[in-house]
Amino acid sequence: MIVGAFLRSLGQLAEDRRFRRVLYLGLALTVALLFVFYAAFLWLVGWLSPETLTLPLIGEVRWIDDLLSAGSILLMLLMSIFLMVPVASAITSMFLDEVAQAVEDRHYPALPPAGRVPFTDQVRDTLGFLGVLIAANLAAFVIYLMLPPLSPLIFWAMNGYLLGREYYTLAAIRRVGREKAMILRRRHGGVIWVAGILMALPLSVPVVNLLVPILGAATFTHLFHGLQARAPSG
């Protein structure tokens, strides 16, 4: 079910003009957010260390001078592994409704119109998820330092769990409301976690991770409907 949902999302990306429009807009905002984070990081480095900063594999990094250099771009790609976690959360929250509607129009045309989530609830959910993701990943850095060989597995497992909860909850709220979405999320926790890990894996691959927010939103829309179809009636 999980792989099938992902493959259908990937197929729609290649064929559906409306889907690609949302994807391109999401990509543009993702790159912009990454660049802002990256510029802020280099500014902080320049403020704390006005001379230079020497990083492994990259060499000396200067604030303005190296902003667009090859070594600096490599630094941004490496940073994107961690920055894409909160960025993926923010982008998904912004575009899930449009992506989900495109998926449902194509694959589930018999469904009635989805309910609209109030804007204030969307903002609250986005900030709440972002806070949890950032806090969890900052805390995980300590574990990464203590257990370097296990850091990729910890990264995938933790962010897979957190992103899976968010993606599924946002997809479910459109159709069944907040209260039932929480019940369903607990009921299908194992499947949601595995699907979240599938989304977290490409987050650790620079450039590829740019596709995760939109494909994740589409995949979990399919997953929600697939789990609902398998649920016993009554």
pLDDT in tens, 38-74: 777 666 656 655 455 555 555 555 544 554 455 566 6
Mean pLDDT score, 218-230: 92
Residue 101 lies in a domain: yes
Residue 42 lies in a domain: no
- Those residues whose C-beta lies under 8 Å from the C-beta of residue 85, and which sit 6 or more positions away, are 133, 137, 159, 163, 203
Count the domains in the chain: 1
Which contiguous run of DSSP H or E holds residue 134? helix 119-146
| Under 8 Å between Cβ of 173 and 126 | no
3 vs 87, residue with greater confidence = 3
pLDDT of residue 104: 92
Residues 215 and 89: their CA atoms lie apart, in Å, by 12
Residue 70 lies in a domain: no
Residue 32 lies in a domain: no
Query: pTM of the predicted model, to two decimals?
Result: 0.79
Taking only the tens place, the pLDDT of each residue in 74-119 is: 666 666 777 777 777 777 777 888 889 899 999 999 999 887 777 7
| Under 8 Å between Cβ of 18 and 102 | yes
Residue 35 lies in a domain: no
Residue 71 lies in a domain: no
**Boundaries of domain holding 152:** 2-16+80-230
pLDDT of residue 153: 92
Tell me the Ramachandran region of residue 143: left when phi exceeds 0, alpha when psi lies from -120 to 50, beta otherwise: alpha
Residue 69 lies in a domain: no
232 band by pLDDT with thresholds 50, 70 and 90? low
pLDDT of residue 234: 47
Residues 133 and 199: their CA atoms lie apart, in Å, by 15
Residue 160 lies in a domain: yes
Structure token digits, residue 148: 């370097």
